[in-house]
Amino acid sequence: MKIELTVNARRRSVEVSPDDYLVDTLKKLGYKSVRRGCDTTSCGVCTVLVDGDPIPSCAFLSVRADQRAVTTVEGIPETASALAEEFGQTGADQCGFCNPGIALTVHAMQEKESDTDDETIRRHLVGHLCRCTGYQSQHEAIKAYLGDEK
């Protein structure tokens, strides 16, 4: 079946099977930042935004993306590069596999939350596993990024 969706503000049309997941469809369309991790919604590396909300694309059926707006990290270059700068400053960037998902979650948090205090950052980051950094350096980088944005 054919679906039509908007990916990073670009209209795309793609043939999918009824039980295809969005992570596979996005990869097929060439969005290589979308990673496959646990494949069971637990690790956060496959996170993309659907109509502005973070969702695990490994569990989101592609047919449900029909007529909806999907954002991958390629679609938020300013957030991604500013956050990458802060990740570098705090040593939060090692293998980088989890970075695209975290950047998208931070982007969505900025859009939706009026107060991004420590607890809010922690609440949004639950579900993003990182095996390199121990999370504190990421947290500091995100705080610094949000501080710069303000």
Q: Does residue 53 touch other proteins according to CB under 8 A?
A: yes
Q: Does residue 61 touch other proteins according to CB under 8 A?
A: yes
Q: Does residue 65 touch other proteins according to CB under 8 A?
A: no
Three-state secondary structure call for residue 62: helix
Question: Parallel, antiparallel, or unpaired for β 69-71 and 2-7?
Answer: parallel
Closest distance between other proteins and the C-beta of residue 115, in Å? 14
Q: Does residue 128 touch other proteins according to CB under 8 A?
A: yes
State how far the Cα of 44 lies from the Cα of 86, in Å rounded to an integer. Answer: 20
Q: Does residue 136 touch other proteins according to CB under 8 A?
A: no
State how far the Cα of 118 lies from the Cα of 135, in Å rounded to an integer. Answer: 13
Strand order in the sheet with 47-50: 10-15, 2-7, 69-71, 47-50, 53-56
φ/ψ of 98, rounded to 5, equals -90, -5
Closest distance between other proteins and the C-beta of residue 131, in Å? 14
Please report how many Cα atoms fall inside a 13 Å half-sphere around the Cα of residue 7, on the Cβ side.
24
Q: Does residue 124 touch other proteins according to CB under 8 A?
A: yes
Three-state secondary structure call for residue 12: strand
Q: Report the residue from 127, 135, 140, 143 that binds other proteins according to the rule CB under 8 A.
A: 127
Name the segment binding other proteins (CB under 8 A); options: 7-15, 78-86, 127-135, 138-146.
127-135
Q: Report the residue from 1, 81, 96, 131 that binds other proteins according to the rule CB under 8 A.
A: 1
Interface positions with other proteins (CB under 8 A): 1, 18-19, 39-42, 44, 47, 53-56, 58-61, 63-64, 105, 123-124, 126-129
